[in-house]
Structure 1
């Protein structure tokens, strides 16, 4: 007898045939399982994903779209371990209370101009920014494969920031993808731990001291290994060299206007809470603050723009590292609530975000 589960929102009481739905899912995403045990585990996880999606649609709490993606067959405990590995180096010191916010900590790589920290010095940011539309982003990355589950979100978000700001500030015609694998393999001395955990800030510090090569010279493998120093120390392969990143600065984390100014100069890496099913199964629309969940941030993404919807909802545009089957071909919109009184806001004690200035586009060697 085929397994079924209630489906629908509101008055829709259709039933989903899990057996058929799982076969369709396997076909759509070219899924294969080596053993019957793996098949049964994947099917059980898929069934749970279907239930979560239908519950989200039925309870009326969310205003964005949810649906299946290629990770619907991954058990939550496996997904949590493999895809959510970012950490905030100052979290224990700075974080005292988080009230349902999506973007917790700002880690910003900036160009030649320091963003003012005094609100009186704020410069109005443009009403909207979209670095994808501007052609400043490399293709969407996927941090894990069917064989290798790697918590490299921190390295990917940091790499997106570095390579995109290189493109923006240098004026080169196309983005040169930088090596995520180099950060995974070589930045352990700075606090990162391969596929287990890491932080964009530690990745910037490593890149500042050692530079970074292009992705084609040190390809991504979705697993950590020994640092290939024969590649990383070859000056002919480096897109960034020692000294190309000038300095790091601090900027208040709980200031929407300053973050808008930051994003207006290029992509920004942030750490958010991504365990909530409303985020994991996201398919479109704007994720509101009340549906983000309340917990410590655990997943690094990149803010690549912002805008305001036709109904007046202000939002960030983020780039994830879960491939194109997630969200809007790898992107998502998250409500930006800023630090308005009475709304969902950051509550950081002595909280500072980080960005750095650079002068790294000196020669044709970067091409």
Structure 2
């Protein structure tokens, strides 16, 4: 299919800003070309336009779609340059992944990969190693179902957006706690992520780990904070305001009580104490009956993880998410050398698993709830290859244990 520029732009806009790529194959030969570090078949794509004029028109459409407004022309000009570079990056990714995973424009398209990593993702870290008694013992006595999904069983709340803050760890921990609450037969409830971001200054100094607000943290330490605090407010009572880019309802985040500058680095130099944990937290608004009694870890065996997902409910997991900025659809399966499983920088919520048959064969996958908004990926979710420890998805799996009531 050959399209003029005008028709190409219209086609992309109607397909949620996603170029369509199809492998070009013949019955006689499949040509492979080495480009960069990837080996991939030649493809024919309705690519995003890369020339300046066409990219600028697409940029205007993209700004309207995502309500992007910049303070001045200089900033907007810089953002357009980033946007144009990202068009090239997305086109390249779509060719390299052969249509097995597709990538497209989304609300993150005015952030360079470096800015994305430093703002939305957390500093890279190795998976923690816990004491043996923390790990849940497998009790598998029969075959697991071929697929499973908590999202259609009222155990997973709606997808949220963390914005321009490294607060994914708090979303992951809260997502797990919400699932645990629902697993007890309680009404599905949105609990406060902002309480964790504002108030959790937990640390494990011997292991060199700490919760650092908008600069990252660990779900297992978040569970310990909730244990110490004695409960959680709901999202409605203590709403999320970090990382929302100066929009109405945002906040200037103060460091949590106990913030460890050695492990976390210097806090944001200015904050509004009227919006701090000390001022906002109201223990009288803690949700009745919700208490975290302990927490557990699951070992790296992915069959064990599937077993515990079914048994315990949605699980907190972490992975290397560098290449997920423009993920749109499909089973994410990058080569290990571009997705180091030892460099974790994003925490998410494992909600299901399954298998997909396609022209590329059958692939097992995990279904993951992300915290980049419902327009990102597959309605806020993504799928990643299951069974190979892809991007470290199996290395930091944990769950809170709630007190019975």
Aligned partner of 1:152 in structure 2 is 167
SS at match of 2:338: coil
Aligned partner of 1:316 in structure 2 is 366
Distance 1:284 1:63, change over 3 A: same
* Residue 208 of structure 1, CA deviation: 1.8
1:43·1:73 contact (CA, 8 Å) conserved in 2?
Answer: yes
Aligned pair partner of 2:215 in 185, 193, 196? 196
Aligned pair partner of 1:284 in 329, 333, 356? 329
Aligned partner of 2:316 in structure 1 is 269
Aligned partner of 1:178 in structure 2 is 191
SS at match of 1:125: coil
SS at match of 1:313: strand
TM-score, length of structure 2 as denominator length: 0.70
* Residue 246 of structure 1, CA deviation: 2.7
2:146 and 2:232 mapped to 1: Cα distance? 33
Spell out, residue by residue over 1:149-169, the C-alpha distance to the aligned partner (whole angstroms, 9 max, x if none).
Answer: 211100011101101220122
Aligned pair partner of 1:330 in 380, 397, 404? 380
Aligned partner of 2:40 in structure 1 is none
RMSD over equivalenced CA pairs, Å: 3.2
Aligned pair partner of 2:287 in 235, 238, 241? 238
2:237·2:285 contact (CA, 8 Å) conserved in 1?
Answer: no
* Residue 218 of structure 1, CA deviation: 0.8
Aligned pair partner of 2:44 in 11, 18, 29? 11
* Residue 135 of structure 1, CA deviation: 2.3
2:346 and 2:161 mapped to 1: Cα distance? 14
Aligned partner of 2:302 in structure 1 is 256
* Residue 315 of structure 1, CA deviation: 0.5
Work out which structure has the larger RCO, using CA pairs closer than 8 Å and 6 or more positions apart in sequence.
1
* Residue 13 of structure 1, CA deviation: 7.2
1:20 aligns with 2:57: yes
Aligned pair partner of 1:135 in 143, 147, 154? 154
* Residue 294 of structure 1, CA deviation: 2.7
Aligned pair partner of 1:207 in 226, 230, 234? 226
Distance 1:13 1:328, change over 3 A: closer
SS at match of 1:315: strand
Spell out, residue by residue over 1:174-202, the C-alpha distance to the aligned partner (whole angstroms, 9 max, x if none).
Answer: x2100001101111133211101111111
1:32 aligns with 2:69: yes
2:202·2:221 contact (CA, 8 Å) conserved in 1?
Answer: no
Aligned pair partner of 2:107 in 52, 70, 75? 70
* Residue 50 of structure 1, CA deviation: 0.6
1:25 and 1:46 mapped to 2: Cα distance? 10
Aligned pair partner of 2:242 in 194, 209, 222? 222
Distance 1:11 1:236, change over 3 A: closer
Spell out, residue by residue over 1:9-63, the C-alpha distance to the aligned partner (whole angstroms, 9 max, x if none).
Answer: 5234767111111111111112111111110121111111110111112234561
Distance 1:196 1:39, change over 3 A: same
Distance 1:355 1:138, change over 3 A: closer
Spell out, residue by residue over 1:121-180, the C-alpha distance to the aligned partner (whole angstroms, 9 max, x if none).
Answer: 565433222111212221211001xxxx211100011101101220122x234x210000
1:44 aligns with 2:81: yes
Q: Which ranges in structure 1 are unaligned for 5 or more consecutive residues? A: 95-104, 363-367
> Which one has a bigger Cα radius of gyration?
2
Q: Which ranges in structure 2 are unaligned for 5 or more consecutive residues? A: 6-18, 22-42, 204-209, 244-252, 255-272
2:157 and 2:167 mapped to 1: Cα distance? 17
2:356·2:363 contact (CA, 8 Å) conserved in 1?
Answer: yes
* Residue 328 of structure 1, CA deviation: 0.9
1:138 and 1:347 mapped to 2: Cα distance? 21
2:181 and 2:367 mapped to 1: Cα distance? 20
1:298 aligns with 2:345: yes
* Residue 69 of structure 1, CA deviation: 0.4
1:18 and 1:357 mapped to 2: Cα distance? 50
Distance 1:167 1:27, change over 3 A: same
SS at match of 1:212: coil
SS at match of 1:80: helix
